[in-house]
Amino acid sequence: MASLVLPLAPSRNTSSFVPLPAPGSAAQVAKLVAAATKIEVLPNNLVPNLIQAGNDDANAYYPVTEPGCSSMTQCVFGDPHSTHTVVLFGDSHALMWLTSFVPIASKDRFRLVLLWRASCPAAAVSVWDPAAQAISGGCNHYRAAEEALIRKVDPSLVLLASRTTGITGAGNRPISAPAWRAGLESTIASVKSKSTRVAVIGDIAAFNAVLPDCLAANPMHVQLCSVTDPNPKITGHFADEQAAAQAAHVPYVNPQPWLCTTVCSPVIGNMVSYYNNEHVSATYAAFLSGVWAMALRPLLPR
């Protein structure tokens, strides 16, 4: 097979999607990640298939989350009547873990609330709006409003998750490491209280190409789409977020070992790992629900 041409712009209808996988165990995840870099030929039983892969995001399975969630009643999962609330707060990198966390909330019977806005990280940093060619005042306003809402609700736990790669600030210039650290520390201090715990979810490596497109072009040479970890071409504020969590004395949960070794493979097992170049696919996120449950267990309300 020399090439593969596919229409990579499917509709949002997920009725023909393969159901999300059951959570894998820690041993299963570790085994598949370790073997992933040896995958050269696209599996025949790939899930989702390449026609669907570009739309395999959490919005497809939970349409209520599109195009964003800004209230404590809009995007609620798990047990809506629970006296314990966990808030997942950030940008699209908070949204992408929804298929991991909803099964945990349902099993443990807590109320999971998603608050997210595209291109608006949890860290209190002013980000550049390329459409307006100016700082995004809307993002700053949104973040402040959501922090006030979180303080009012007083949840048991707040999980902060943000994309840190490719985010720019004033003048469309990179945001400095100290600014990002200070911004995240500010957000942590804003929502943390004696009754509200906070944890930071680490960012993930970005690929150099949109994976479904790259895989379609290289079905017999899958690893041409892989990247090293860390990726020197697309850097982020990974260390700054970890440093901010440490300075604020809150847990930092790093998902990278569930995605990469020293190399990040575009296919893990028979699953497409990302639905574009910087977001974990809903399918693979669902598979990681078990390891997320183990990592978050000490923090979750009982």
pLDDT for residue 244: 98
| Assigned domain for 237 exists | yes
| Assigned domain for 45 exists | yes
How many domains is the chain built from?
Answer: 1
Residue 13 — very low, low, confident or very high, per pLDDT cuts 50/70/90?
Answer: low
pLDDT tens figures, 273-289: 999 999 999 999 999 99
Residue 271 — very low, low, confident or very high, per pLDDT cuts 50/70/90?
Answer: very high
- Residue ranges of alpha helices (H) inside the chain are 26-36, 50-53, 58-61, 92-95, 98-108, 137-153, 177-191, 211-217, 238-248, 282-287, 289-296
Q: What pTM did the predictor assign?
A: 0.94
CATH number of the domain enclosing 174: 3.40.50.1110
Judge whether 301 and 111 are in contact, CB under 8 Å.
no
pLDDT for residue 174: 96
Of 202, 175, 199, 176, give the one whose Cα is nearest residue 188. 199
pLDDT tens figures, 63-110: 999 999 999 999 999 999 999 999 999 999 999 999 999 999 999 999
Domain that holds residue 292: 26-296
Residue 10 — very low, low, confident or very high, per pLDDT cuts 50/70/90?
Answer: very low
CB-count exposure of residue 143 (10 Å: 0-12, 13-18, 19+):
buried
| Assigned domain for 301 exists | no
| Assigned domain for 191 exists | yes
| Assigned domain for 147 exists | yes
| Assigned domain for 152 exists | yes
Place of tokens 């000490």: 298
pLDDT at 5 over 50: no
| Assigned domain for 2 exists | no
pLDDT for residue 15: 54
| Assigned domain for 280 exists | yes
pLDDT at 12 over 70: no
pLDDT for residue 2: 32
pLDDT for residue 35: 98
